[in-house]
Every structure is written in C-alpha cells, then in structure tokens.
Amino acid sequence: MPIKRLAFVMNQNKSGALEVLGRLREIAQAENVEVKETFEFPVPEGFLRGMDACCVIGGDGTFLSAASESTKWQVPIVGVNRGTLGFLTTYTAEEIEEIFPSILQGGYSVRSRGLIECSSHNGEADIALNDVVIKSVSASRIVHLNVFADEEFVTTYVCDGLIFSTPTGSTAYTLSAGGPLIHPDSPVLSLTPICPHALSNRSIILPDSVELRVENASADDQLGIAVDGQRNLSTSRDASIRVRLSSQRLPIAQRTDYSHFNVIRRKLKWSGGYAREIS
C-alpha cells in the first residue's frame, strides 16, 4: 500500500548516511508523507507505532536494531545500505533515490522473515532475526553443552559455543563458522557448533516445530547468550536455555523483482561465466 507515514532510522556513523537521509526526506515531504526520524540504537520503544514503513539507513547492524520494534508493530523495513556487505539492507544508496517515489506510492513487495525466540532461566525472552549465540562468559573458555530436541538428547558439544540461526541469519555469523546457506523462505533453523572438538560435529538443520533445550555441562563455567550480537540475556548456572522458531514474523519491504540468489551472487562474489553474464 502507499506509504503515508514513514519513520527513518539512521546510523550517523556510516559514511554518506546523513546525505542519503536528507535527500530521501526531501522526496518524502514532496510526496506529502509524514516523516519522523531517530539516530538512537536500539530504536526507542513505540517509535514505529502507527507507521506505514520504516526506512533504515546504515548497515545490517542498524537494520537489526529496528527488527524488534518492526516485528512488534508489523511495520515493513526498507533497508538502505551504507555499510559493507548489507545482506539485509538490500537497496543501494544510488538506486534508492531513483525509485523512492515509486516505493512511497506502493511499488514494493513485503516478505516476512522467520525469527528465533530464546528464553533463559527466569522467563526472560528475546527474539532474533539472525542468530542466538551461546558461549562462555569467559572469552577463552571451552564449553560443554548438552542439547535436546523436543526433549530427545542430541549430543554433548565440546566447543567454543553454539550458533542457532534463522535462514536469514545463515549469511551472518554461522556462515563464518562453516554453517550452510539457507533460503530465507525455508521453515527451518540451524544449529552450528563453533570450533567443535569432534570433527564429526557439523551443522544440523531442524524443522520449524522443534524446541531446543541447552544445558550447561561445564562444572565451573557461566554461559552468556547474545541475541543478534546486540543484546544479552542473563543466565543461571544450572538452568536450561530454550530456543525455538518464533510464531512472530518480521516484514521486510523489498523490490518487486527481488531475487535472493542475485543478492547472494553479488554479496558473496560468486563467479563463473554464466553467473557473470546474468548478474
């Protein structure tokens, strides 16, 4: 639908972001769009309430900072990349200015992305668009983690930590740890050990219905939980951590001709004669 109320979320530390914001603000005001903006991270609670869309200008970290509020109010995010790779912020600064009037008039498609929900010992819970990472709070310590899937014992991982990833997050931390690329529409989550001591420990792809439980089997270590690399949940030495796919979804506004594989080819610099020809 046409965008009449638009929120801008901008990372002013990104080169050129202020200039992009200024030009997009002018375009929006010329289209009689009500505009509000923030430079705060994470996005202030309630900031997106009543908005038709949220335009994030920065990198994927800026995008992630708006994900929770976007999910809460079901406000689609338009991601403009002023960072590096930008798997989430798929619009370039050059193209967004040209097609922004069309976007404001409704020239975009909304696709929903899966989220991971993680809860700790005291009922504290959070959602992640990319991943939930469980490690020792001591950076150099190896952890021993018992993992259960729907209360069925999987194994005890001896490793630097575990990454629980959505399909969207498969191009983030888990990719660096040897995890698989997963199409964002896939109803699954992945579990990837970080530097496991058993060479046979590899990523596991699990269905969207599964609930995972993690027990700390390290006698003298405290675990930490990082949510999208931006927020932390508190843990108890003896309590389990639960991870599952959330029933909530994040709406993302993308080009009507958006192609996931085109993004992958460009961002990961896949080569080959045919790939270069059609990119």
Residues classed as catalytic: 60
| CA distance to 155, 191, 203, 208, per residue, from 179 (Å) | 18, 8, 6, 18
Residue 107 CB partners (closer than 8 Å, separation 6+): 99, 256
Q: What is the DSSP string of 90-101?
A: -EEHHHHHHHHH
Q: What is the DSSP string of 160-183?
A: SEEEEE-SGGGGTHHHHTTPPP--
Rounded Cα–Cα distance for residues 90 and 102 (Å):
16
Strands 231-233 and 161-165: unpaired
Cα–Cα–Cα angle for 194, 200, 206, nearest 5°?
Answer: 70
Rounded Cα–Cα distance for residues 233 and 213 (Å):
15
Q: Taking the CA of residue 5 as centre, how many other CA atoms within 13 Å lie in the half-sphere pointing to its CB? A: 7
**249 burial via Cβ count (<10 Å: 0-12, 13-18, 19+):** middle
**40 burial via Cβ count (<10 Å: 0-12, 13-18, 19+):** exposed
Phi, psi dihedrals of residue 239, rounded to the nearest 5°: -95, 150
SS3 251: strand
**73 burial via Cβ count (<10 Å: 0-12, 13-18, 19+):** middle
